[in-house]
A and B are shown apart, each in its own frame.
Chain A
Amino acid sequence: MTSQTLPRWLTQKEQFNTAEEELKSNKRHNFLEKTLVGISSAIKEAIFSERYAGLSGFLQRIDARFKVVSFILLLLAASLAHNISVIVSIYCLTLVLAYFSRIPLGFFIGRVWLFIPLYTGIVVFPAIFSFITPGKPILALGSVAITEQGVTSAITLITRVGASVSIAVLLVLTTRWEKLMRALHVLYIPQTFILVLEMTYRYIFFFLKILSDMHLARKSRTIQTLSGSENRRWITSRMGVLFKKSQLFSEQVYLAMLSRGYTGDPKAVKPGRARHVDYAWLFASAGILALVILLNYRLG
């Protein structure tokens, strides 16, 4: 290409008068970017962070299949416990397990309590008042009172949620994602479903990166402030484009699977043999559940 073939305006310097241009900060633009960056970091942190799963702590050494079953038993125990002392004991057990699995307790407590139990507390807050839970008033506020039964119910629910979330978070933090997926087979979840889950996990960040790149490409060519409706139109169009891309991409992935012998019935490597510690841990978890049921019966 020579200078003679270029249009004239392309060979001339563009004239800008930046003093007269009104360059407002685009808060909606920043919102988009912050949302994308936030989602991408959260997913990356939640799914790809395997700092703790790779450590040689107590739970990391347990076979993933036995962990899945034993943690379901512990979740049952937390759900069935009526007495708050029992629920707190289960929660304390999760802290002990986190400690011996080399998970920093501050990080573990923050990961558990900063989200679901906090929102549970907000949701259950009205239940402490007499108009929701009548009972013995402990603090009168005009015609309404905070009742002992209301407070007890709220604390029991929040503690139960906290204990249950702790159990789930402990399972995820101490188990590599692909081992957790494979362990689902022990619950008779079909291998095809597990394969779909694994591939969803594999590609979700891939498409998020594409979306982030689309946003950056647009940002690099955006000079003036864009209206809310323009931004919404852009988001909608990107949803459509990403859907189309993922559809075409999935066809290519399927061809790649066919090319390597996939016939619709995925095969996986058989899990290794279980060890004594795996059985001991499973037995201990069953014992905890049995103890909770017994205590429920004894304590009422």
Chain B
Amino acid sequence: MVFEVKDVVYKYADDSPALDGVSFRAKAGEKVAILGANGSGKSTLLHILDGLYFPVSGSVHAFGRPLTEESLHDMSLAKEFRRRVGFVFQNPDVQLFSSTVWDEVAFGPLQLGLTDSEVSRRVNDVLEMLNLKKVANRHPYNLSGGEKKKVAIASVLACNPDVLLLDEPTAGLDPKTQAWVVDCIVGLNRAGKTIITATHDLSTVRETADRIYILGEEHKVIAEGNPAGLLQDEELLIRGNLAHYHVHRHGLLTHAHAHRHLTHDHHEPHDA
């Protein structure tokens, strides 16, 4: 088991709940998606899995060991954890804090204590793999949204993590880049990486998840299971604010039905 989260409660500074008794599991090599509307606590859960936030109650275990603020004070444990878990933030500008793309991708391996030659090798390999060599010396400010997302992913991959946490990886991207990100996620999972994604984009979940958790507006898990089954449950999706009721007219008749966006080019058929 890579992550085991039990009954975790997390509150914001103003004491409002972000997570209220959430349990979560992820096995090595799995693709797990955490679905939920804005404000349901998806990002908070990812921050907890990455040892950046710590719950007020409940337990978090990573790779069989407790993940607490105290345990991360052990430098060797912290280093191992940071090497094994990579987090791609939702806003790439948060993550791109170095002067150039090359420096950004090199940051992680350098902090983990790799030699300069190994750092250079990894950076060049990752830039080559993600077709970023031509922007290696550019400032992050001069990159497009899609390029920033690629650099953010590259900066995490250079540490060769076992687990990738991705916060809304397709948010704000054009369709081509979204498709690239989805392919990248699937490819990395086939290479053995555990992928945990937080998203409300239902159109990509079938490809990027073997198992899904749905967080409700009460900041609790309202469902867990196979995407194929759960995504057909319209009432569940409406309860989780992942679908809405669509009302339209046929002559004098008013027709209401659940409406969810599963693909970009069609909606599900309905009877008049």
Contacts and interface: CB of A to CB of B under 8 A. Distances in A.
Interface string A256-273: 111111110011111000
B57 interface: no
Interface string A192-207: 0000001101110110
A255 interface: yes
Contacts of A206: 93, 141
A2 interface: yes
Contact of B83 (A177, A198, A261, A268): A261
B106 interface: yes
Nearest to B115: A270
Contacts of B108: 260-261
A249 B100 CA distance: 19
Contacts of A267: 110-111, 113
B99 A261 contact: no
B82 interface: yes
Contact of A260 (B75, B111, B116): B111
Interface string A10-35: 00000000000000000000000000
Interface string B102-135: 0100111011110010011000000000000000
A261 B112 contact: yes
B97 interface: yes
A256 B111 contact: no
A283 to B, nearest CB: 28
Interface in B222-272: 247
A48 B98 contact: no
B206 interface: no
Contact of A256 (B83, B95, B142): B95
A263 B78 contact: yes
A252 B89 contact: yes
A269 B99 CA distance: 13
Contacts of A172: none
Contact of A252 (B78, B82, B91, B140): B91
B139 A202 contact: yes
A70 to B, nearest CB: 23
Interface string B177-199: 00000000000000000000000
B50 A262 contact: no
Nearest to A199: B97
B94 A198 contact: no
Nearest to A181: B99
A201 B159 contact: no
Interface in A82-120: none
Contact of A201 (B89, B99, B156): B99
Contact of A255 (B52, B98, B100): B52
Contacts of B103: 178
> Which of the listed residues B78, B99, B120, B159 has the most CB atoms from chain A within 10 Å of its own CB?
B99
B155 interface: yes
B99 A256 contact: no
A159 B93 CA distance: 44
Contacts of A269: 106, 110, 116, 119-120
A243 to B, nearest CB: 18
Most buried by B among A256, A258, A266: A256
A253 interface: yes
B77 to A, nearest CB: 12
A256 B89 CA distance: 8
Contacts of B116: 269-270
Contacts of B156: 260
A259 B75 CA distance: 14
Nearest to B94: A252
B111 A261 contact: yes
Interface in B55-85: 75, 78-79, 82-83
When A and B form their complex, which 8 residue pairs have the shortest distance between CB atoms, in order from nearest? A261-B111, A178-B99, A260-B108, A261-B82, A252-B94, A267-B110, A256-B95, A259-B87
Given A177-B99, A178-B103, A268-B110, 19 more contacts: A48-B141, A178-B99, A198-B99, A201-B99, A202-B96, A202-B141, A203-B97, A252-B89, A253-B97, A256-B97, A258-B82, A260-B86, A260-B108, A260-B155, A260-B159, A261-B111, A261-B159, A262-B107, A269-B120
Interface of B: 47, 50, 52, 75, 78-79, 82-83, 86-87, 89, 91, 93-100, 103, 106-108, 110-113, 116, 119-120, 137, 139-142, 155-156, 159, 247
19 contacts: A48-B142, A178-B99, A178-B103, A199-B97, A206-B93, A252-B91, A253-B94, A253-B97, A256-B87, A256-B97, A259-B50, A260-B86, A260-B155, A260-B156, A261-B82, A261-B83, A262-B107, A269-B119, A270-B116
